[in-house]
Chains A and B, each alone.
Chain A
Amino acid sequence: MSAPVHFKFVETPRRVREDRRFVAGRGRFVADVRLPGMVHVALVPSQHPAARIIEIDAAAALAMPGVHAVVAGAELAAAVDPMMNGLDTPNVRRFPLAVGQVRYNGEWIAAVVADSRAQAEDAAELVEASYEALPFVLDAEAALKPDSVPVHPDHGSNVLLDRTFVWGDVAQHFAQSPHQIAFRVTWGRNSTVPVETFGVVVAWDPWNEILDVWASIQMPKYADQIARALRLPANAVRVHYDVDVGGSYGVKRGIKHTVLAGYLARRLNRPVRLIEDRLENMRAGDAHGPDRIFDVTVAFDSDGIINSMKMRALDNVGAYAGRAPFQLGKPVGAIVGPYRIKSVEYRAVSVTSNKAAQEAVRGFGQAPTNYAIETAIDRVAAALGLERIEVRRRNFIRKDEFPYLIPSGTRYDSGDYHTVVDKVLAHVDWPALQQQREQLRAQGLLAGIGISACLEPSGGNSSFEPLLNPKNTTSTWMESCRINVDALGYVTATIHTTSSGQGHETLAATVIGEVLQIDPDRIRIVRPDSLASLPGNSPVGSRMAIMLGGAAFHAADKLKRKLIRIAAHQFGCAEADVDYATGGIKQRGGPGQLSWIDLVTIAHRNFHLLPAEMEPGLETTHVMQVPTGEALPTPDGRVQMYPCHSFEFHVVLVAIDPDLGKPEFRRYVIGHDCGTVINPAIVKGMTLGGIAHGIGAALLEEFVYDDQGQMISQSFMDYVLPSAHEIPEVEIVHHCTPSPFTVLGQKGSGESGYLGAPAAVASAINDALAPLGIVMSKLPIRIPELSDAIAAARASK
């Protein structure tokens, strides 16, 4: 870290440049891309959770006006390769359309292409499919049993992953601990459900042999995966990154949609548009999130010090593998949370079932794991009759222990958890808050205070891939930036990904402006297409402040050093003897002085004035490796996961009318430490948005299947997204512990809020229910379940 002590643009309240186009309705989303001759796709869904496809009769559909084609799985599978599996499970094959067998309700069995979406939908209703129903399995524990019907018969079982890691002397720590508690918590299947569904427009140009792709995408190695599945050279796929993405938070991975649309575009020689409607998105967009049962045992001393933890996480990934099992791997990097737990046994089990496939969801599995860890802390406190915050304080890693090596091999960068807690308790007036809870209880309400403390691993690398798949040797997850100063002295920089609201243009401009001491508003940020791009891995794993910010910093630093070399050469002095400042470079202790435009002119027009062997022009690039992430896992499964660890501490006051069972927030405070904040408005928005998303996961959102395997939460009437009524005013208490591993001391914040809010809300509800002697241990805790549990408890008293 070579951070300037005082920032000029970083950390200052500056507007987010992207906002202007959006408030005017001038964003360019995928549905706004219109190409001449473009045709539209509608999908035919499976009505069964599991069935053999006997026949698909498309005659009536093909006879409808405007219809160009009806394509089913057999035709597609002959022309494209299966989509990439994350794990080494070659017999769990996945194509965009079901091939021979359907594996979940809603799975796409055929695509109908027509001149308009309405015509395609009309025709899709006339596609006749006949099936032979097969046995199915929905429940993860049932799917895990050896005699369960396998979702993929060729794979032989439903188990995609079953690995037990032992980090440290778990047996000894358990034997030496006077207390143990075992419990189960369940994380219901929810997702990020962006307001914009996934969409893609694909055009094939047979004369240039190039496939152009515009998509609502957030996917690492997207172009490569499309090329591989479509059997095209990678440089025949051109993804346009200048498409605004209407929210993603992890899920917009769209490979199956893009492979399908790409195949159709080539077959029909027409641009093809596939934009999910809400039903297609929710039922078969393959974008559900973790669906997880945790069995946790902790061993602890009488003073609340937790010595060891055993955790089994059983995840129901649905019908296909994809990247979902890796969501059990990423939490390995923060498996002890912010606590000094000495040893851990972690069994990660991933099973297939006849539900829709999962995709990456904000935090990549960390929010459910945090919920389990935080529940453990609350249970320990309850068992010992200790205060919940005190138990956390006693177990927190101390400020002077960083960098801190956790049992599973990650070295946490920095933190000051005790101070953040102190600041939050001072802000909230802890005694007054407890008093308020008692007052609410005296009014006949159930009232509870929720606590959670957790980490946000950030700067995403991909260490979970080699950890869980020995054939995968990935040890870099780079990000890049290129800066060009034109002959008139204006600065233009590149980013090589789409964005879905993270403000990457503002981020890059702010960092470059800081290094070059140029007003960021004068810096143009552009997004080349994938063929013109430098290597990158998209905004996943809370990484862009660290990785795009880092790449931009280094590219700008290289540019600055080039200018200094040019100046020193003119002055005939050492590079150390010049001062770079806004507007130009001066010789220290000498007469030399060159303005910005003088320097630019030398670089662009005066080769004779350049130092020997310097290239003309003013252009620099930087391809950045993830800090600390260079080593592959050890054989016993220890690995450095993400480099940086933000901290958040939630305190929540909830009141519940016992007759209604509806939790209402009376106070929501979060202490947040993500190191140096590059843009305060962006970080604030991420934090508030993450909390809202976490409240949804805790109280409202779940994709529910009935016992016939039909998904019954198919609309926003059934899958309830929090509105402004459900989300309280949130107070943020800031703290800054810079990371020693990043250029400005920054850490990630894209997942903040979401990682701790579900645990905090559950903690508050359970505190409220404690007088009734009941505990809710499955999320979401919806009003019907809560009111039923309260009614039953009151009736039995």
Chain B
Amino acid sequence: MKVELNVNNARASVEVEPRTTLVDCLRDNLGLTGTHTGCEHGICGACTVLLEGEPVRACLMLAVQADGYAITTIEAVAPAPGELSIVQDAFCETHGLQCGFCTPGMVLTAEALLRRIPDPTRADIVSAISANICRCTGYGQIVEAIALAAKRLAGSNLPRQVVPGEPA
């Protein structure tokens, strides 16, 4: 069946089976391979994408359910080719990753957190990423990355993006 998706601020019309998951659709139909599949049963968080700015598991959602919503994948996070977002750059600064497989989900989770809570506590950060499994890092440098990103965002000139439906 035909689905109209809004992915990374672009309209995409795709033909999928009703059972096709959103992650398979993003990867196979749209070639957005930055979103990864780790467990395909909603635990590991490697397939995290943003739906209207909030992290969701693209393996637990069908492509047809995403019709009409704004979807953001990791490919849309970098402001320009070769240029990192503040959050991405902070992950590089603290080495908040190793193999890189869970990283797109972690970065998107962090981007969403920092839009919701610009000045998160360690507990806020831990809570936000607790739905994303990283097998390499033991999370320490990920927590450091997000804390660093929060600090840098606070000191940056970037206009604050407000999540729709949330108080500014």
Q: Which A residues are closer than 8 A to B by beta carbons? A: 15-16, 18-27, 29, 31-32, 118, 192-197, 244-249, 277-278, 500-503, 681-682, 684-686, 688-693, 715-717, 721, 723-725, 727, 729-730, 753
Contacts and interface: CB of A to CB of B under 8 A. Distances in A.
Given A278-B38, A501-B99, A721-B43, 14 more contacts: A15-B93, A19-B100, A20-B84, A196-B99, A247-B101, A500-B98, A501-B97, A503-B98, A684-B141, A685-B95, A689-B135, A716-B43, A724-B130, A727-B139
Given A16-B92, A29-B36, A692-B138, A246 B97 contact: no
Contact of B136 (A25, A32, A501, A727): A501
B46 to A, nearest CB: 5
Contact of A685 (B75, B78, B98, B103): B98
B126 interface: yes
B63 interface: no
B25 interface: no
Contacts of B137: 685, 688-689, 692
B141 A724 contact: no
A19 B97 contact: yes
29 contacts: A23-B88, A23-B97, A24-B77, A25-B33, A25-B35, A25-B77, A27-B103, A195-B134, A244-B100, A244-B101, A246-B101, A247-B98, A247-B99, A247-B136, A249-B135, A278-B41, A500-B99, A685-B95, A686-B98, A688-B138, A689-B134, A692-B135, A693-B135, A716-B43, A721-B43, A723-B133, A724-B132, A725-B130, A727-B138
Contacts of A729: 122, 140, 143
Contact of B39 (A16, A244, A278, A689): A278
B135 A194 contact: yes
B77 A724 contact: no
Contacts of B75: 24-25
Contact of A32 (B19, B33, B122): B33
Interface of B: 17, 19-20, 27, 33-41, 43-44, 46, 73-75, 77-78, 84, 88-89, 91-95, 97-104, 107, 122, 125-127, 129-143
B103 A23 contact: yes
A22 B98 CA distance: 9
A-B pairs with lowest CB-CB distance, top 4: A25-B34, A22-B100, A246-B101, A501-B98
Contacts of A20: 84, 92
Residue among B73, B74, B122 facing the most chain A CB atoms (10 A cut-off) = B74
Contact of A684 (B27, B74, B95, B122): B95
Contact of A118 (B17, B44, B102): B17
Contacts of B35: 25
Q: Is the interface of A mostly helix, strand, loop or mixed?
A: loop
Nearest to A248: B99
A219 B98 CA distance: 19
Among A16, A118, A195, A245, residue most surrounded by chain B Cβ atoms (within 10 Å): A195
A23 B91 contact: yes
Nearest to B74: A25
B91 A692 contact: no
Contact of B40 (A15, A194, A245, A278): A278
A31 B41 contact: no
DSSP class of B's interface residues: helix, strand, loop or mixed?
loop
A471 B120 CA distance: 60
B100 A685 contact: no
A690 B135 CA distance: 9
Contacts of A118: 17, 19-20
Given A32-B33, A501-B98, A23 B135 contact: no
Most B CB contacts (10 A, CB to CB) among A24, A197, A245, A503 go to A24
A753 B138 contact: yes
A277 B59 CA distance: 12
Given A24-B78, A729-B140, A723 B101 contact: no
A18 B41 contact: no
B155 to A, nearest CB: 20
Contacts of A723: 130-133
B125 to A, nearest CB: 8
A725 B143 CA distance: 12
Nearest to A277: B40
Contacts of B131: 723
Nearest to B104: A25
Contact of B138 (A18, A31, A249, A730): A730
B100 A501 contact: yes
A63 to B, nearest CB: 19
Nearest to B100: A22
A723 B142 CA distance: 12
B126 A724 contact: yes
A753 B137 CA distance: 11
B77 to A, nearest CB: 7
Contacts of B41: 278, 715-717
A195 B102 contact: yes
Contacts of A193: 135
B32 to A, nearest CB: 8
B83 to A, nearest CB: 9
A24 B95 contact: no
Residue of B39, B92, B135 with most chain A CB atoms under a 10 A cut-off: B135
A118 B18 CA distance: 12
A195 B100 contact: no
Contacts of B36: 29, 31, 195-196, 246
A451 to B, nearest CB: 20
A118 B44 CA distance: 21
B36 to A, nearest CB: 7
A16 B98 CA distance: 9
Contacts of B107: 23, 25
